[in-house]
Amino acid sequence: MLYHLLYSLKDISIIFNVFKYITFRMICGALTAFILVYIFMPYFIRFMKQKQFGQIVREEGPSHHKAKTGTPTMGGVIIVTSIMVSALLWCNLTNYLVWIVLFVLLSFGFMGFLDDFLKIKRKKNLGLRAREKFLAQITIVCIFYLVLFKYLNFSTTLNFPFFKKLIVDIGSLYLIFSMLVIIGSSNAMNLTDGLDGLAIVPFIVVAGVYSILSYVAGHIKFSSYLYLPYVPYAGELAILCAILVGAGLGFLWYNSYPAEIFMGDVGSLALGATLGAIAIIIKQEFLLVIAGGLFVLEALSVILQVAYFKITKGKRIFKMAPLHHHFELKGWPENKVVVRFWIISIIFGLIALSTLKIR
């Protein structure tokens, strides 16, 4: 809205011409999202405390996590709202790619909201049933797929990092692949969100990486030079990614140790799914595995733990899954686990960016 209003004034003064540049609006969007979260989160924290809507810590988690019980949760409500408002202000609202990504953000956010609300209402770490949650996620991805690949005729080809000309068209199988990417990304971030500030910094790193990738994908000269798929109008997603970064930084202000609020499923499920949707649209799906390597490791630790436990009838690979709990039980202080995992996520992000030239 603000973009359309200000850019329309370019004929009055040349200064308003600056709003046509994606890079400028990336900065505006990131700052707007940060400020909105920074300003409104304290009011939300106060409201949640008054209503006694606090985190329900799972019984099987580390014993010292019991102290986190009662900490306000569902901070994702402010994150998602701030992202929406910032996108409406600074993105080109005639761009259909922006609306598709916002649909995924809101849909997964609403599902996460219901999950969090039920946990608070029941006073147990039991929200939506796994079957209900999975069916909802599948339905959202099916709508995403139909709009993008059936109605808008998006390409169903897969492009592989490190290879210039390795392109595979998987046709209708892309629906299953979309589910793996979006649902996998969503749940991987949800599993990582277990310590103060642990999930949000890796999310910021991945969103930052994809802001660059989106800008390149939407620029025909840059994409051609770097042998990346050119996706018309994808440049606007760079603004959306920058907004994700800004909102993430705003949340980190209150989520850093000791956390004043947790994002809840409304935040983790929505933000993870949004990254997956953007990765699919700009045809950089496999790079999400590298950029979001920390999320992948956390998810794999759970999968391996459960599988090994069932196969060996009670034995475990890790002291506890997800992976961050394993290191906690090894004696690492929470802060040390979090900061070291941040470092790992930054390294993964740098590796992902390096693939732009390694082809």
Binding residues for Mg(2+): 190, 265
How far CA 137 is from CA of 78, 111, 130, 143, in Å, comes to: 22, 8, 11, 10
Q: How open is the CA angle 38-40-43, to the nearest 5 degrees? A: 120
Side-chain-side CA neighbours of 101 within 13 Å: the count stands at 32
- In angstroms, the CA 206 to CA 346 distance is 9
- Read off the DSSP letter of residue 66: G
Q: How many other CB atoms are there within 10 angstroms of residue 155's CB atom?
A: 14
Peptide bond connecting 322 to the previous residue in cis, omega within 30 degrees of 0: yes
- In angstroms, the CA 113 to CA 270 distance is 10
Residue whose structure tokens are 């991945």: 206
Q: Which residues belong to the annotated binding site?
A: 190, 265
Structure tokens at 105: 């953000």
Helices 235-255, 264-281: crossing angle, 10 deg rounding? 160
